Amino acid sequence: MQVSFVTPGTTGPGALVVGVTAGGPLVGAAARANRETGGALKRAMDVSRFTGKAAQVLEVLAPHGSKASRIVLMGLGKADRLDTNAVERAAAAVVGKLMSGSEKRATFAIDVPPRAKISAAAFAAHLAFGAVLCSYRFDVYRKVKDDEQQTLKELVVETKAAASARKIWSDLSALAESIYFARDLVNEPANVLFPDEFAKRATGLAKLGVKVDVLDVPAMKKLGMNALVGVGQGSAHDSRLAVMQWNGGRKGQQPVAFVGKGVCFDTGGISLKQPAPMMGMKGDMGGAAAVVGLMRTLAARKAKVNAVGVIGLVENMPDGKAQRPNDIVKSMSGQTIEILNTDAEGRLVLSDALWYTQSKFKPKFMIDLATLTGAILIALGTEHAGLFSNNDELSKRIMQAGREEGEPVWRLPLGDAYDRAIRSKIADMKNIGGPNAGSITAAQFLQRFVNGVPWAHLDIAGVAWQDGETKPLSPSWATGWGVRVLNRLVADHYEN
């Protein structure tokens, strides 16, 4: 979608979008449009019970002689509660309506309410951001009928702060493109996006200045990554470890590091899943997709930080060569793991990826993202990601970034009592901890491979995709969760 920011008064053809605050009078562009329509907007509001509550939408056909084809009232909610998240959701609600029509162009002519705690430039830029996120579609494999095609191609935002809005939009557009990229990865079918193909797409970041290295199975075996390699040994597609480096900070400055679980398809292995839980397991690489999306964002906006992204890419399949329950593997750290359930494979992938990251790059901190446990859905549903950490400051910063970006997280505990649940009688640990506190014992497992580095684990199994109600800013199955919150974390605390 083409986005432009212009000074007020240049409304052209297409839909005209005006804003209305909850319980407030029509002001600015909305008041002008009401006068030009002979009071039609106010009458339409009265008969439709449109009150201007947040993300409420009302469409009215424009009168004869108007440049616009229709006028769309966008509810802003209460002015003193208007922030960037509310602006984005309201814009997404409007664009969601327009996407089902035949409009090719929409103009947002909305004045910032006086009591809103947001600048005119940020208001305009986040209107565009919400609209663009909502307009995402994944229809690569669909023969679309003419009457179902997306027609909305141009978005114009009128603002007195057009120049400043363009500067803000420069970073937001890079973020939006990277969220699209992450969503595309998760939406791809596993017969297309297997480990080697995923790694090849990650190498495409080199065009933006990201250094990318890909380790194959012999290279990983030489390093002792038997936990990661073991997960994929039953697949016809060899495993990969992709290592991305963005050096936008000072030379020699300690990097920040992000590690992603990239199970391109998860059958459960020998501990085979039932058919229903296996549906959607093409998305079991949502953590790796978020890491790639983040690294793309940092490079695209020239972030002043040194950052490392490491993703373990495997396919977990049942085969004569697949690892078995009761097998014992020696991880890169030297610690041994008793495999009791081959469907608890993501933590095995991350164990070697985390150890590799901390030993090679000596990062300031490590954050891993993984669609790790179904138990996190039981605990938190689909609204929050689970956060586990050995560092309070890092946790607080992640939680703050999550609130500000509309990707909330909830911290859960770690402790020795949970750690005892993964003790093995014949190895250093086992890969499952029993029926209780499954997300916590999985995090305890990962903590054994961070070697004291400040670390946070984000269990995103409930938020990486959506099987139920579709959220306005995430219109597809894949959400791209994690790119926003981690980009915000870096921007607020770790850039030079």
Q: Which of 347, 397, 430, 484 is catalytic?
A: 347
Q: Would the pTM of this model clear 0.95, i.e. be above it? A: yes
- The whole-number average pLDDT for the span 311-331 is 98
- Are 118 and 185 found together in one domain? no
- Are 226 and 356 found together in one domain? yes
Q: How far apart are alpha carbons 19 and 21 in whole angstroms?
A: 7
CATH number at residue 89: 3.40.220.10
In a domain, 172, yes or no: no
What the block records as the tokens of 378 is: 């039981």
The pLDDT confidence band at residue 11, using thresholds 50, 70 and 90, is: low
pLDDT at 328 over 60: yes
Closest CA to 209 of 294, 298, 311: 298
Q: What is the mean pLDDT of the chain?
A: 95
pLDDT at 146 over 60: no
CATH number at residue 235: 3.40.630.10
Residue whose entry in the numeric block shows the structure tokens 């910032």 = 112
- Are 148 and 203 found together in one domain? no
Segment 422-449, tens digit of pLDDT? 999 999 999 999 999 999 999 999 999 9
- Are 188 and 144 found together in one domain? no
Segment 91-109, tens digit of pLDDT? 999 999 998 788 899 999 9
In a domain, 46, yes or no: yes
- Are 142 and 216 found together in one domain? no
Segment 56-91, tens digit of pLDDT? 999 998 887 788 899 999 999 999 999 999 999 999
Q: Which of 42, 70, 104, 273 is catalytic?
A: 273
| Cross-strand bridge partners of residue 20 | 75
Q: Which domain holds residue 119?
A: 2-160
Which of these ranges, 114-118, 359-363, 472-476, has the smallest mean pLDDT? 114-118
- Are 255 and 336 found together in one domain? yes
Segment 352-378, tens digit of pLDDT? 999 999 999 999 999 999 999 999 999
| Cross-strand bridge partners of residue 241 | 215, 312
- Are 74 and 219 found together in one domain? no
pLDDT at position 36 is: 87
pLDDT at position 145 is: 58
Active site residue 347: yes
Contacts with 81 (C-beta within 8 Å, 6 or more apart), sequence order: 54
- Are 447 and 479 found together in one domain? yes
Q: How far apart are alpha carbons 351 and 333 in whole angstroms?
A: 8
What do you get for the CA distance between the two ends of the chain, in Å? Answer: 32
**Last-in-domain residue among 160, 195, 217:** 160
- Are 156 and 104 found together in one domain? yes
In a domain, 169, yes or no: no
**Last-in-domain residue among 100, 134, 160:** 160
In a domain, 79, yes or no: yes
Number of domains in the chain: 2
pLDDT at position 373 is: 98
In a domain, 393, yes or no: yes
- Are 347 and 426 found together in one domain? yes
Active site residue 324: no
- Are 304 and 391 found together in one domain? yes
DSSP string, 253-304: PPPEEEEEEEEEEE--TTSPPPHHHHTTGGGTTHHHHHHHHHHHHHHHTT-S
The pLDDT confidence band at residue 148, using thresholds 50, 70 and 90, is: low
**Last-in-domain residue among 160, 194, 226:** 160
- Are 54 and 80 found together in one domain? yes
In a domain, 243, yes or no: yes
In a domain, 395, yes or no: yes
In a domain, 313, yes or no: yes
Q: Is 79 exposed, middle or buried (0-12, 13-18, 19+ CB in 10 A)?
A: middle
